[in-house]
Amino acid sequence: MSGRIAVIGGGHNGLTAAAFLARAGRDVVVVEARPVLGGLAARENFHGEFFVPGLLHHTSGVRRRLIEELDLGRFGLTWCDPPDVWAPAKGGSGLWLRGDCIEGSLAYRDDERFAAYRAFIDRVRRAVDPVMDAPPADPKGRLWPLFTLGLNLRRLGAKDMVELLRIGPMSTFDWMHELFQGERLRAALAASAIEGTFAGPRSPGSAANLLIRECTAGAEVQGGPASLISAVAGAARSHGAEIRTHARVSRITVGSDSAVTGIEIDGGEVIRADIVVASCDPKTVFLDLIGSEYLPARLATDIGRIRTRGTTAKVHLAISGSIESKDGEPVEALRTGESLDDLERAFDAAKYGEISSRPVLDVRVPSLSDPDLCPEGHHVVSILAHFAARDLRGSWNDIQRETLGRVVIETLAEHVPGLSERIVAREILSPIDIESHYGVSGGHIYHGEHAPDQLLFMRPTIQCAKYATPIRGLFLCGSGSHPGGGITCGPGALAAKTILGQ
């Protein structure tokens, strides 16, 4: 097969797939609904001369090894170390997580324990990391990938292997309690376990999320998500891919033999293609873009069952001055939530369709390393706030949005004195806003919750986990596929490799 390939969605995954396919000499066209490229990683102007480099703001999860072939350095990509993270505490100065080191007032022997934890992560990374760089091993599929997986596990040695299997189903709460004495440290680490999930630290299985997060964290992209996008888009273009914006796909057309024939753009334009690669979320692909007559009933059921309960809100602040820790150190990354119970209570609200009264904040100040994002003497603050239910009891309106903005700012202001007075402008995006701006089902930033039954060979469903779908010629390449959500470029790269391998 060597006909035209249409890629739906110009986010990091769509562009990555396009770049790989174009590089292999395929005729590729990327269509992006919005005026800008990047999707959740797009640079956004939220006020005057203030920009954020992406709705998602971490790039440490990018599968560097997978996209090496694209030689993105040629297109302006440079890597840097992730910033130190401040975990403030109300009473004292909190903790600083600086890579493998930790600073601040620690409980008895927690420094040793932290070192042991980091060492454990370093060891098990050898088994976990490769899983993210290959299509998911399928227990019913070919034996070789399974064997490799088993071998990688076994190579960890009996103790670490059993420990890894034991921790997988645990709750972060239990794991952190086993590991550390200090509550602030436990909470600081646990915060990343619950992002993009419908879980609190006490939910079993959340430890696996944390483990994966820790094992896959690497270098960041200098300049954040927006720089990544411009590099990948540059690579795609240089290999001849055509990239169109302002082109919203209304339909994937399917022929009578249940094979795709192309896509239709809003306004009626038809683009013929033998292969359609969709980076939008699986629910949108199958329930909105494919005619129901082509959808096997079981697939419709399984797709409908994908859990996409958005719980993440985004707040952008334009402030005068910067954010500093209690010791006066400028802060580029910050995590709130002082105890595991703080995190748990924040999640409780989501279960009942509410907005947390004290959400857990994942804060970045991107302008600290990229001053172009705002006027001098100012900074932009990018805040991912957990949890605010997308399916709010009584539905989202301006009052609810205001409430959300208020609790987020109040929570941050607990650690940043005088914050409210320094705010020049703000933008509040509820999960509903994220859904409508970015076209992600349920407003879910990861195109589907990260849960054991929605990962690996079950992501997004067991029939579509290897990027190919029951509709001939239709492939998935978005966050809804393995290795999942966040800015990783992984699904895009793996989908492209799958297509090229066929």
Partner 1 sequence: MMKSYDAIVIGGGHNGLVCAAYLAKAGRRVLVLERRYVLGGAAVTEELYPGFKYSVCSYVVSLLRPHIIRDLELARHGLEILPLECSFSPHIDGPGLVRWPDPEQTRREIAAYSQRDADIYPLFGRAMMQIARWVKPIIDMVPPDPTSFRLGQVRDLFHLGRRIRDLDDQTLARLVKMMTMSAADFLDEWFESDALKAPMSVSGIIGTYLGVRSPGTAYVLLHHYMGEIDGAFRAWGLSRGGTGQISLAIASAARSLGVEIRTEAPVAKILIDDKTASGVVLEDGTEYRAKAVVSAVDPHRTFLGLVGFEHLDDDFVAQVRRFRMRGSSGKVNLALDRLPDFTCRPGDGLHVRGDIAVAPSMEYLERAYDEAKYGMYSRRPYLNVVIPSLTDPSVAPPGKHVMSIFVQYAPYHLADGAEMWTDKREQFGDTVVETLAEYCPGLKEAILHRQVLTPWDLEQEMGLTEGNIFHGELGLEQLFFLRPVPGWARYRTPIRRLWMCGSGTHPGGGVMGAPGALAAQTLLEERAL
Partner 2 sequence: MPLPTPLHPRTSALCVTYLWKEWAGYHAVRAYSTSPEREYNAVRQGAGLIDVTPLYKYDVTGEDAAAFLSRVMVRDVAELKIGRVAYLCWCDDDGKVIDDGTCARLAPNHYRVTAAAPAYHWLSHNAARFRVTIEDTSAKLAALALQGPMSRHILRHVCDADLDAVKFFGLVETRFDGVHGVLTRTGYTGDLGYELWVQSEQALALWDSLMMHGRDYGLEPFGLDTLDICRIEAGFILHGVDYHGAHQALTEAQKSTPLELGLGWTVTLERGPFIGSRALAAERERGQKWDLVGLDIDWQATEELYDQYGLPPALSMAAWRTPIPVYRKGRQVGRASSGTWSPLLKKNLALATVQADCSAVGTVLDIEMTVEWERRTVPATVVKTPFFDPARKKS
Residues that bind partner 1 (CB under 8 A): 139-140, 154, 158, 161-163, 165-171, 174, 178, 198-199, 202-206, 298, 302, 305, 307, 341, 344, 348, 351-352, 451-453, 458, 461-463
- Of the two residues 21 and 260, which places its CB atom closer to partner 2 in the complex? 260
Check: CB of residue 492 under 8 Å from CB of residue 14: yes
- Of the two residues 312 and 461, which places its CB atom closer to partner 1 in the complex? 461
* E strands, 365-422, in order: 378-388
Residue 240's binding partner among partner 2, partner 1, none (Cβ under 5 to 8 angstroms by kind) is: none
Check: CB of residue 120 under 8 Å from CB of residue 210: no
| Distance of alpha carbon 244 from alpha carbon 437, whole angstroms | 18
Residue 298 in contact with partner 2, rule: CB under 8 A: yes
Give the residue, chosen from 217, 300, 424, 462, that forms a contact with partner 2 under the rule CB under 8 A. 300
The piece of 34-42, 193-201, 292-300, 438-446 that touches partner 2 (CB under 8 A) is 292-300
Residue 1 in contact with partner 2, rule: CB under 8 A: no
| Distance of alpha carbon 40 from alpha carbon 429, whole angstroms | 13
- What per-residue string of b and e applies to 441-480 under the rule 16 or more CB within 10 Å gives b? bbbbbbbbbbbeebbbbbbbbeebbbbbbebebbbbbbbb
Amino acid 259 reads: A
Contact map string, positions 312 to 341, toward partner 2, x by CB under 8 A: ------------------------------
CB of 171 to partner 1, least distance (A): 8
Check: CB of residue 412 under 8 Å from CB of residue 383: yes
Residue 395's binding partner among partner 1, partner 2, none (Cβ under 5 to 8 angstroms by kind) is: none
CB of 110 to partner 1, least distance (A): 16
Amino acid 451 reads: A
| Distance of alpha carbon 85 from alpha carbon 187, whole angstroms | 13
CB of 257 to partner 2, least distance (A): 9
- Of the two residues 161 and 219, which places its CB atom closer to partner 1 in the complex? 161
CB of 297 to partner 2, least distance (A): 5
Residue 293 in contact with partner 2, rule: CB under 8 A: yes
Residue 302's binding partner among partner 1, partner 2, none (Cβ under 5 to 8 angstroms by kind) is: partner 1
Please, what is the Cα angle at 284 between 280 and 290, to 5 degrees?
A: 110
Lookup: tokens for 307? 């859990």
Cα-based torsion angle of the residue sequence 436, 441, 446, 450 in order, rounded to the nearest 10 degrees: 150
- Of the two residues 331 and 346, which places its CB atom closer to partner 1 in the complex? 346
Render 441-492 in DSSP notation, one character per residue. Answer: GGG-TTSS---GGGSGGGSS-TTTTTSB-SSBTEEE-STTSTT-SSS--HHH
Residue 292's binding partner among partner 1, partner 2, none (Cβ under 5 to 8 angstroms by kind) is: partner 2
The piece of 296-304, 366-374, 451-459, 483-491 that touches partner 2 (CB under 8 A) is 296-304
What SS3 class is residue 71? coil
Residue 395 in contact with partner 2, rule: CB under 8 A: no
Lookup: tokens for 123? 């060891």
Residue 305 in contact with partner 2, rule: CB under 8 A: no
- Of the two residues 255 and 296, which places its CB atom closer to partner 1 in the complex? 296
Residues 146-175 that bind partner 2 (CB under 8 A): none
Residues that contact partner 2, how many (by CB under 8 A): 13
Check: CB of residue 303 under 8 Å from CB of residue 459: no
Residue 451's binding partner among partner 2, partner 1, none (Cβ under 5 to 8 angstroms by kind) is: partner 1
Check: CB of residue 363 under 8 Å from CB of residue 383: yes
Residue 76's binding partner among partner 1, partner 2, none (Cβ under 5 to 8 angstroms by kind) is: none
Give the residue, chosen from 92, 296, 321, 371, that forms a contact with partner 2 under the rule CB under 8 A. 296
Residue 140 in contact with partner 2, rule: CB under 8 A: no
Residue 174's binding partner among partner 2, partner 1, none (Cβ under 5 to 8 angstroms by kind) is: partner 1
- Of the two residues 287 and 424, which places its CB atom closer to partner 2 in the complex? 287
Residues 6 or more apart whose Cβ sits within 8 Å of residue 487: 12, 40, 41, 54, 56, 58, 59, 61, 62, 225, 228
Lookup: tokens for 75? 């297109």
- Of the two residues 63 and 309, which places its CB atom closer to partner 1 in the complex? 309
Residues 6 or more apart whose Cβ sits within 8 Å of residue 292: 300
| Distance of alpha carbon 392 from alpha carbon 23, whole angstroms | 45
* E strands, 2-151, in order: 4-8, 27-31, 44-47, 50-52, 79-80, 85-87, 95-98, 101-104
The piece of 28-36, 295-303, 324-332, 488-496 that touches partner 2 (CB under 8 A) is 295-303
| Distance of alpha carbon 104 from alpha carbon 441, whole angstroms | 41
CB of 296 to partner 2, least distance (A): 4
CB of 415 to partner 1, least distance (A): 24
Residue 452 in contact with partner 2, rule: CB under 8 A: no
Give the residue, chosen from 292, 352, 376, 418, that forms a contact with partner 2 under the rule CB under 8 A. 292
Give the residue, chosen from 99, 169, 304, 371, that forms a contact with partner 2 under the rule CB under 8 A. 304
Residues 231-270 that bind partner 2 (CB under 8 A): 256, 258
Lookup: tokens for 246? 């302002």
- CA distance to 376, 386, 427, per residue, from 317 (Å): 15, 17, 7
Interface with partner 2 (CB under 8 A): 256, 258, 287, 292-294, 296-301, 304
